[in-house]
Structure 1
Amino acid sequence: MTKQIHLAAHFPGVNNTTVWSDPRSGSQIDFDSFKHLAQTAERGKFDFFFLAEGLRLREMKGRIHDLDVVGRPESLTVLSALSAVTTHLGLAATVNSTFNEPYEVARRLASLDHLSGGRAAWNVVTSWDAFTGENFRRGGYLAEADRYTRAREFLQTARELWDSWASDALPRSEGRFVRPGGIGFFEHTGQHFDIRGRFDVPRPPQGNPVIIQAGDSEEGREFAASSADVIFSRHSKLEEGRTFYRDVKRRLEKYGRTADDLKILPAVTYVLGDTQEEAEERAAEIRRAQVGPQTAILFLEAIWGRDLSGYDPDGPLPDIEPDLETDVSKGRAQFRRDRAETAAKWRALAEEKNLSIRELVIETAAPQTFVGTARSVAEEIDLFVQTDAADGFIFVPHLTPGGLDDLVDKVVPLLQEKGVFRADYTGPTLRHHLGLKELP
């Protein structure tokens, strides 16, 4: 049976993908940039538009990473504004479960679902580091072993709040209600939350907003299998994707769920050209722009645990060994467990290919996923989905605000011709776009 492809767009904030130097690059914080990207995604009939969020900018020795976005507005506020200039596009936000509270988050997401007519989604994430925790009153950080226990209880509590309204307790225009007994009473006592009262926003149009989860650990996979509607996956290579897809889908049965109840959507990038050679040349230019001299040194310092600012990014790797007891990086989690192993692999690769520091970082950082002509990229997207490496993709453009334009104008029509992607929206809610069960 031919599967239908799901597409979404991601506008990151803390990242190393944005190419500031491109003359087509515009503002990363003006509402018009968000509006252009969202309306382009809706023109392409995408399922949803997804905003990432970092609660603290990444730093290295006090220097903010040169591709991170400074001054980014808060995501749910932006999406609420976008709900007025879109009609069908889903609106997804990353909201942290470590440094927020269930009542506040549930209220804001229910409000977005009402404002948009049932198009809200929540990417549930956790944080591990004390650097981010410094921004919050309790300070410090949540022990890594407790991150997912809090996230599970956080989501459970939010759902209790959304479900606390009886289905027939609907607001009247004068602000009173049909059945006062059905209005929002909740009481939750657990390891992380002990709250009770009345939830003051009616049940969302979707019942619950769509839940997205991005964890790839064992705990993250189980959390997604038990509770999520979408996984924001990092597995964008064909065989890796198939392995991840099988592993997560097999976990669903023990939670009374089917394969259709959870969509796996890897984060991907793309570069188009009139020929394969032209696309590959563009991709190489983009990668070099994404890994400038400062970024290359910062990536290396994150592994070496040393100040390497005196080294030439276009020269060889340092001849000193990593300091595994020190972490000079702030706000990064990628290398905290396996720095020694990563350093050994990087040194071997640099020696094998005679790579400079910058060339090594370009080689090891994630390359563009789909590189080619519009037709070859459309064929590759379809191959991933039809062979169960994914249910679709979340595209991360390297340009703002026009980074989706050629994908929508050149690739989407080819997928529509193949009959594997919708020609138009057929329902009003994000849950409908994703083919998820409607909640009672």
Structure 2
Amino acid sequence: MSKPHKQIHLAAHFPGVNNTTVWSDPEAGSHIEFSSFVHFARTAERAKFDFLFLAEGLRLREQDGEIYDLDVVGRPDTFTVLAALAAVTEHLGLTGTINSTFNEPYEVARQFASLDHLSGGRSAWNVVTSWDAFTGENFRRGGFLPQDERYSRAKEFLATAGELFDSWHGDEILADQATGTFLRDAKAGAFVHTGRHFDIHGRFNVPRSPQGRPVIFQAGDSDEGREFAASSADAIFSRHATLKEGQAFYADVKSRLATYGRRPDQLLILPAATFVLGDTDAEAEELAKEVRRQQVSGATAIKHLEFVWNRDLSSYDPDGPLPDIDPDPGEHHIARGRAQVRMYRDPLAIARTWRELATANNWSIRDLVIETGNRQNFVGSPATVAKTIDDFVQADAADGFILVPHITPGGLDAFADNVVPLLQEKGVFRTEYEGPTLRDHLGLAHPDDVRSERVAS
């Protein structure tokens, strides 16, 4: 007996701090004006996507001590944007990345509980840690924590926020939600937490929200990050978007759930994915090449190479060969505030590999950066892209994808109009929303139901 087809989950990432948006395209719009967010969100909701996803940038990026002028300048505050979008959408989930290193549990829990009320149960929190002292300079607690300390704080941060969400629970919810008046005195909202990172007690002042807690996302790919997701998250935001890598990551993370008394369906794997559509596969391939060259100008290529070399390479020709000098393996001082720096933990080995690729393919600096860093995940006609996405999900390489278009805010329109209907025809994507909350969209149980199930077992 064949197993039933899995339902695909789709989300839309409004690409805030990035270097993948094609700004030279006349359709490229503002990343600040609210109209851009409204267009993007309404397109996602029209296509019946699960949620909209906002990343976070807590400091402008710098390159060799100067503001990096080939990237997005910044973005409005996440909670402000999501709260405003709650008023112009009805079903779309609203997911925000909020840092656990430079915030406090009470403040973040209060903001997410409020957003969940305002949106009717559509909030989600992507829990991240900060990795660099550069960002920390913007905050009272300057500097950064070692990796094990970051996850230690993040785990306690999330657990503490959970205690605050749960402080209004069951019979203790004795207030008239419509008027905000108490029916009688109670212990509603009372909490006490004493731990290594937080020592707080008091009363949480936001009553139990429609989802009980926001949906929890996690984005770390390290072993600590995978374990954190298996223990505490509802979904994991992955960067593994090839079939083989996706299947390995999927199997690894799902296998960790049993340790925490969880089932495989209680954690969704949702990689980020870019796409380029054309009327035919050949047309899409040509367009994808053009998009990659628009994303990586000569100046951008040199800046990207500096991430690895940790040297000023401004004198090099982007259409010439790679530098004959080796990277500086010391403390990184060229590129600051960029996540890519973390990915190159052995710059000397990366440089050797890149030189071999460049020599074998006769690539210039710009060619190399294009070919190693900006290949789209899904390229083809709508039918080809729909089939590829479905194949990935059915092969357990993902539970769905968080789509990142290269044009904002209109880059999602063609996918919504041409790919989504094909997935609906296959019977693997919804034609209507299943319920009012984001947990309904994602097929996740309410926290109270999960708690009752664990008690019963």
Fold shared by both chains (TM-score > 0.5): yes
Write the letter of the residue equivalent to 1:330: R
Q: Which residue in 2 is equivalent to 1:35?
A: 38
Could you report, residue by residue, the CA deviation over 1:11-33 in whole angstroms, capped at 9, with x for unpaired residues?
12211111110011111110010
Separation of aligned partners in 2, 1:179 and 1:247: 49
Equivalences for residues 364-383 of structure 1 within 5 A: 364-383=372-391
Q: Which residue in 2 is equivalent to 1:105?
A: 108
Separation of aligned partners in 2, 1:434 and 1:38: 17
Q: Which residue in 1 is equivalent to 2:452?
A: none
Q: Given that residues 166 and 182 in structure 1 are in contact (C-alpha distance below 8 angstroms), is that contact kept between their aligned partners in structure 2?
A: no
Equivalences for residues 85-164 of structure 1 within 5 A: 85-164=88-167
Q: Which residue in 2 is equivalent to 1:7?
A: 10
Separation of aligned partners in 1, 2:282 and 2:94: 36
Write the letter of the residue equivalent to 2:134: F
Greater mean deviation of Cα atoms: 320-329 or 101-110: 320-329
Separation of aligned partners in 1, 2:306 and 2:212: 46
Q: Which residue in 1 is equivalent to 2:81?
A: 78
Q: Which of residues 307, 312, 319 is equivalent to 1:302?
A: 307
Task: Tell me the TM-score normalised to structure 1 length.
Answer: 0.98
Equivalences for residues 282-321 of structure 1 within 5 A: 282-321=287-326
Aligned residues: CA RMSD:
1.2
Separation of aligned partners in 2, 1:284 and 1:66: 23
Equivalences for residues 225-264 of structure 1 within 5 A: 225-264=230-269
Would the alpha carbon gap of residues 278 and 324 (structure 1) be closer, same or farther in structure 2, given more than 3 Å must change? same
Q: Which residue in 1 is equivalent to 2:404?
A: 396
Separation of aligned partners in 1, 2:168 and 2:355: 58
Q: Given that residues 152 and 223 in structure 1 are in contact (C-alpha distance below 8 angstroms), is that contact kept between their aligned partners in structure 2?
A: yes
Deviation for aligned residue 1:97: 0.5
Separation of aligned partners in 1, 2:356 and 2:84: 50
SS in 2 for 1:245: helix
Separation of aligned partners in 2, 1:161 and 1:43: 34
Q: Which runs of 5+ in 1 are unaligned?
A: none
Separation of aligned partners in 2, 1:33 and 1:174: 35
Q: Which residue in 1 is equivalent to 2:338?
A: 332
Q: Which runs of 5+ in 2 are unaligned?
A: 449-457
Equivalences for residues 401-440 of structure 1 within 5 A: 401-440=409-448
Separation of aligned partners in 1, 2:276 and 2:69: 22
Task: Tell me the TM-score normalised to structure 2 length.
Answer: 0.94
Deviation for aligned residue 1:178: 2.8
Separation of aligned partners in 2, 1:67 and 1:269: 20
Q: Given that residues 97 and 151 in structure 1 are in contact (C-alpha distance below 8 angstroms), is that contact kept between their aligned partners in structure 2?
A: yes
Q: Given that residues 306 and 326 in structure 1 are in contact (C-alpha distance below 8 angstroms), is that contact kept between their aligned partners in structure 2?
A: no
SS in 1 for 2:241: coil
Could you report, residue by residue, the CA deviation over 1:238-282 in whole angstroms, capped at 9, with x for unpaired residues?
011001100000000010000110000100011000111110111
Q: Which residue in 2 is equivalent to 1:44?
A: 47
SS in 1 for 2:170: coil
Separation of aligned partners in 2, 1:196 and 1:44: 44
Separation of aligned partners in 1, 2:357 and 2:139: 41
Would the alpha carbon gap of residues 67 and 4 (structure 1) be closer, same or farther in structure 2, given more than 3 Å must change? farther
Q: Given that residues 50 and 93 in structure 2 are in contact (C-alpha distance below 8 angstroms), is that contact kept between their aligned partners in structure 1?
A: yes
Task: State the identity as a percent.
Answer: 69
Deviation for aligned residue 1:335: 3.6
How many residue pairs were aligned?
440
Q: Which residue in 2 is equivalent to 1:63?
A: 66
